Structure 1
Amino acid sequence: MKQIYLDHAATSPMHPEAAKVFAEALSVHYGNPSSIHQTGRSARRVLDGARHLLASSIGAQDPEIIFTSGGTEADNLAIFGTANAKEGRHIITSQAEHHAVLHACEELEKAGYEVTYLPVDEFGRVNPQDVIQALRDDTILVTIMLANNEIGSIQPIAEIGELLKGTGVSFHTDAVQAYGLLPIDVDALNVDLLSVSAHKVNGPKGIGFLYQRKNTALKPLMFGGEQERKRRAGTENVPAIQSFATAVQIAQETMDEKRQSFMEYKEIFRTVFSENAIDFKENGSEQLPHIFNISIPGIDIESFLVNLDLSGVSASSGSACTAGSIDPSHVLVAMYGQDAPELRNSIRFSFGIGLTAEEITQAAEKTVQITKRLAQK
């Protein structure tokens, strides 16, 4: 039985072209980009070309791109790097951020920093005025994600960035889930720092980047060589970076097509549910096209996901799995409260390359069958 993979928001398969480039680069571009001999210079040309393509994908300049091991490191570099570079002990974020941001902020709290965790509304969105009202004289950083990885809600980043102009506060956004699906321009968003990861856009795992606007204060977290303009020590992973750039180029070229397909997939789910009288509610608002997070009254998410997996569909609760049990989603807690039924009956379907409308229909029909079967117990 072929598994229908509907968990692309967690990670995505490598695009065949990106995988091909990665495999070839392992044996061809193995040189150290910092070496001055021919092999090193060849690797440097590949590195520079990839950096240019990735910078262009967000409207940035080449020197503003810092290669990292992925989104988590990029988030940590933005947060700890700002904290180590600026005077002040106050940071603003939201209750619905990715754990790479939340746990980093919690560590800073242990070191004596103060963090304001802004609430979100019932659609998972931050009120820009709440950001401004939370500002203090010692605020050094605001970090709000561009779009949520669990429910897909898109945040008003450009509006927040406009309000922060002239305050001297650095503005970071985690764009990991939105990159490759939304047009992104760092000037239009008014951000100083932006995080991206390759494995969410059909590139390899273990590579990503942090955009750092020119003259934005930031200190490195890793020390050693002078790679990445002394901002991130360590020999660059040229094969992964070249593969990353290939995946991004394809993502940029196919963005409109993918968005249309994914919106059609959502509509298939809605239609199948409606035809079978399945009661459900969509979580979030103004969402990314590939995330369909729904609440189905009366189901238990753990048994539901197990049954779905056994039927050949890979999906997720969107929340952390710890020791074999699913913890309540902190995003849904922020939206609905600690005792909301949505915490126990929400499931996330997320779409990506390789899927067909027929497979989506099959997945929706299997979801209906499982829902009705579990409701009878």
Structure 2
Amino acid sequence: MSSRVYLDNAATTPVHPQVKEAMQPYWSDIFGNPSSIHSFGREARKAVEQAREELAGFIGASAGEIVFTGSGTEADNMAVIGGALANQARGKHLITSQVEHHAVLHAFQYLEELGFEVTYLPVDQTGMVRVEELARAIRPDTILASIMYGNNEVGTIQPIEEIGQFLREQGILFHTDAVQAFGSLPINVRELPVDMLSVSAHKVNGPKGVGALWLKPEVNLSSRLVGGAQERGRRAGTENVAGIVGFGEAVKILRADITQRGAKYLELRETMIRVWRESEISFRVNGHPERFLPHVLNVSFPGTDTETMLLSLDLAGIAASSGSACTAGSLELSHVLLSMCIGDEQARSAIRFSFGIDNTPEEVERAAAKTADIVKRLTRPQ
């Protein structure tokens, strides 16, 4: 048994053994191009469509509404950029939040370069968008909004139902990045007032390099990749058959235990917090106290700094992360934490622990105790 503990599942998850097994034949035996009409191609096509049915069934969609992509980032780009370009005749004003994943934020910044106007909604200290702020931002020329389902850094779950209902009444296209929420929470697009929803395979013990975008049939998108009629003409390029098969298998496994996963993650989160309280170290949990993704725990340890903590945790065999990007060898402050206005000291000492299906209460308790020891060492008076 490894002494190392992997607590960075919000970044990526290990591929499930059943997923690897399901993918194996599609590297060599069933290698046909799914667009080919001969038997080799038809075998590959059947596998792709079975995976599409699996994903569609899990989120309450029809198979024809699923577009497979090369990543969650591509799915976000397809929704935001493709949706804006296809509907710009109605207006050029767009809305998003300040705490989106960069896959969404950078897509909006790109659209600004093309002449669109973007309103970046602020959030409160829990990381939540207020519907009143959204309402105030609406203009006659607003055509599209994108607000994430659950935040990848602090786990805050946004009021998607209220936001979506309001936008639907205004006739504004609504996309939600559900990449981080997918796998922790049940999602049913028939019950959610959204028009487009992005997911990714590698967050749910599937392979990297595969994502998907669900969109309502009436949604008009401008294709981001051209050159072929794949994915019903919405995304050119030969499909990653093995990856898509793996995604379908991961969803099949997820479908069987989504409720248990959420409960398990919540238990692991509570275990970690309990150990820290018993250790009597100073810490503060970042994010919403009630509406949060159960597998994400973002916490600040006053008197420490993120970079030193991460290095110390790694040396202790614990994989965690900041929400920050590494630039020129130094960690930048998280745009999410800064947008929450929690103060520089709290933002500079934040660590994200995130749980997965392989984590056990025993190893999480051990990791929490080691973390407490590190905090005590780093904050001990010199």
Which of the five TM-score ranges fits, normalised by the shorter chain?
Answer: over 0.9
Deviation string 1:136-175 (CA, Å, 9 cap, x unpaired) is 1111110000000000010011111111123221100000
Structure 1 residue runs of 4+, over 3 Å off?
none
The separation in 1 between residues aligned to 2:117 and 2:258, in whole angstroms, is 39
The one-letter code sitting in structure 2 at the alignment partner of 1:343 is A
Secondary structure (helix, strand or coil) at the match of 2:11 reads: coil
| Correspondent of 1:276 among 235, 259, 279 | 279
Secondary structure (helix, strand or coil) at the match of 1:254 reads: helix
State the match for 2:12 in structure 1: 11
Deviation string 1:292-343 (CA, Å, 9 cap, x unpaired) is 1111111111111101100010000122122221110000001016x53111
| TM superposition score normalised by structure 1 | 0.98
Q: Does 1:168 pair with 2:171?
A: yes
State the match for 1:323 in structure 2: 328
State the match for 1:310 in structure 2: 315
Q: Does 1:205 pair with 2:187?
A: no
Shift of 1:261: 1.5
State the match for 1:96 in structure 2: 99
Within a 5 Å distance, the mapping from 1:96-245 to structure 2 comes to: 96-245=99-248
The sequence identity of aligned pairs, in percent, is 52
| Correspondent of 1:352 among 349, 353, 356 | 356
Unaligned runs of 5+ in 1: none
The separation in 1 between residues aligned to 2:102 and 2:331, in whole angstroms, is 15
The separation in 1 between residues aligned to 2:18 and 2:328, in whole angstroms, is 36
| TM superposition score normalised by structure 2 | 0.96
Count of aligned pairs between the two proteins: 376
State the match for 1:373 in structure 2: 377
Alignment check: 8 A CA contact 2:333 2:347 kept = yes
Alignment check: 8 A CA contact 2:185 2:259 kept = no
Alignment check: 8 A CA contact 1:90 1:140 kept = yes
State the match for 1:52 in structure 2: 53
The separation in 1 between residues aligned to 2:61 and 2:204, in whole angstroms, is 19
The separation in 2 between residues aligned to 1:70 and 1:200, in whole angstroms, is 11
The one-letter code sitting in structure 1 at the alignment partner of 2:11 is A
Alignment check: 8 A CA contact 2:9 2:355 kept = yes
The separation in 1 between residues aligned to 2:362 and 2:195, in whole angstroms, is 42
Cα root mean square deviation, aligned:
1.1
The separation in 2 between residues aligned to 1:165 and 1:271, in whole angstroms, is 42
The separation in 1 between residues aligned to 2:28 and 2:66, in whole angstroms, is 25
The one-letter code sitting in structure 1 at the alignment partner of 2:102 is H
